[in-house]
Structure 1
């Protein structure tokens, strides 16, 4: 069997898993999705992903459960049943083994966890080049994901005219904006680059801007040429890549974008909510990995 056919078969199994993550999944079902015998399907799944199908499904469910626990007040037992665990005890053992902390403690402390993201976990991925599908080794980068609460706040920002990303913004506005933002006192967090949703874009200004978030009570000075707007409370899904050589920051950004492009938050109990606030990126720093965040809302928040 050609490498290309193996990867396509495994992708069909991966898609089947994503669609039925909250249901019992058998090897026979995966084999049907792959179009091969159960034995052969199990073998190529391990060869391509580096995990058995059982390990893969368990890692997906654990990560989905952790993300759901981080996003609301749902009960541990409800999350356990939601992801096909038969008891609170079994779920707690599996969660603790996966993350090194019991689910109840994780829910209280909202600590960041190393979640399993399947977007580029395979030993191979397909690359379209010169009209042909070719096999290349993947980078197997780990991405950390967590959901955080952003309070009601104000935003001091400076927009460009047509900029859609950082480099266009610097050409239009200049690079000194960052220094100005860094010197604003009482900021809640560090300065950030951001993509504004349609409801926050003033006609004639850019989708990409730079700004810094301030307490909702802030009534202090605003630098000349800057604006200040109010933002409602929201949840942000934060993606953080691995550390990298500072000279390769563009690769780190593009790698994370590849993950975010195919990431489905509904698997983990959320949906994208782009009008709730700006999608933002923090200053790329190799030692901490590239960080970007996108607004989300929790599905079925009463669970």
Structure 2
């Protein structure tokens, strides 16, 4: 069994878990989805994901339960039963072990917590075996939509790396689970973003590339260990959005936008680049909406 076949078998088990998260799931069902014996399926699942299938399922259910408690007014027991926990006590123990506080206290205060949001293993495998950020010479030039948006004064909850200047190096330095913490923040103004910080926002010995989420100025909830909370002034951002693309081709989609920006002259539209006024940022690459990246600008006097 080669590496691609192993990853695909685990991906089939991941997909089965996602599709049946509200039902009881057995190792036999997972092995049937993978097409291998129960023993072998369990071994490769742990090898690829770093968790046993039982731990993976439990963490996935607890994360979805946490989002329900964050966003809805529900009884703890009802949420527990929805996610296949047999009792209030068992759910509370599992929730407390996973997130460090009981579900009742979480539902009242909703501090940032480390959600379990694993990437699809085949997408991760494909990304790290793609062979670099090179555009395909077969691709024709595509339409890029450009607009100006204004960001108000705001706070940003962020996690710094050490030397990273791009996403993959950042993941190697701090791990790939920062997004799951940022996605838990109830007060978020927008979705989490990857950011390239201007020099005055980079602390000594930390990275240019970080991940964060923008928050209202009156945000006063907990700041998780290892995270910073900073303030940013109002700014203008020029947003570039490419055409929808096949998720397999996200690197090419990013490269196309970067190539377009390199040639783009904002002066034609009455703006100039202003890299020190705000972080440049990117949204999570999602094929259905096209790759989106924003650069800070000022109006030309």
Q: Normalising by the residue count of structure 1, what TM-score does the alignment of the two structures yield?
A: 0.53
Q: Match of 1:290?
A: 291
Q: Displacement, 1:140? A: 2.2
Q: Displacement, 1:267? A: 1.0
Mapping of 1:207-218 within 5 angstroms? 207-218=208-219
Q: Displacement, 1:294? A: 0.4
Separation of aligned partners in 1, 2:250 and 2:191: 19
Q: Displacement, 1:173? A: 0.3
Q: Displacement, 1:170? A: 0.3
Separation of aligned partners in 1, 2:218 and 2:260: 36
C-alpha deviations, 1:167-198, integer Å up to 9, x for none?
00000000110000000111000000010000
Separation of aligned partners in 1, 2:300 and 2:220: 35
Separation of aligned partners in 2, 1:256 and 1:139: 13
Separation of aligned partners in 2, 1:222 and 1:271: 35
- After the TM superposition, which segments of 4 or more aligned residues of structure 1 sit over 2 Å from their partners? none
- Aligned with 1:276: secondary structure? coil
C-alpha deviations, 1:87-123, integer Å up to 9, x for none?
xxxxxxxxxxxxxxxxxxxxxxxxxxxxxxxxxxxxx
Q: Match of 1:198?
A: 199
Tell me if 1:184 matches 2:189.
no
Q: Which runs of 5+ in 2 are unaligned?
A: 1-136
Separation of aligned partners in 2, 1:197 and 1:176: 24
Q: Which runs of 5+ in 1 are unaligned?
A: 1-135
C-alpha deviations, 1:116-141, integer Å up to 9, x for none?
xxxxxxxxxxxxxxxxxxxx776120
Q: Match of 1:265?
A: 266
Q: Match of 2:253?
A: 252
Q: Displacement, 1:224? A: 1.4
Mapping of 1:97-176 within 5 angstroms? 139-176=140-177
> RMSD value over aligned CA atoms?
1.1
Structure 1 range deviating more: 213-222 or 280-289: 213-222
- Aligned with 1:288: secondary structure? coil
C-alpha deviations, 1:212-234, integer Å up to 9, x for none?
00001111111111000000000
Q: Residues 170 and 137 (structure 1 numbering): CA distance in 2 closer, same or farther, change over 3 Å?
A: closer
Separation of aligned partners in 2, 1:223 and 1:190: 18
Q: Displacement, 1:204? A: 0.4
Separation of aligned partners in 1, 2:139 and 2:255: 14
- Aligned with 1:163: secondary structure? coil
- Aligned with 1:292: secondary structure? strand
C-alpha deviations, 1:142-164, integer Å up to 9, x for none?
00000000000000000100001
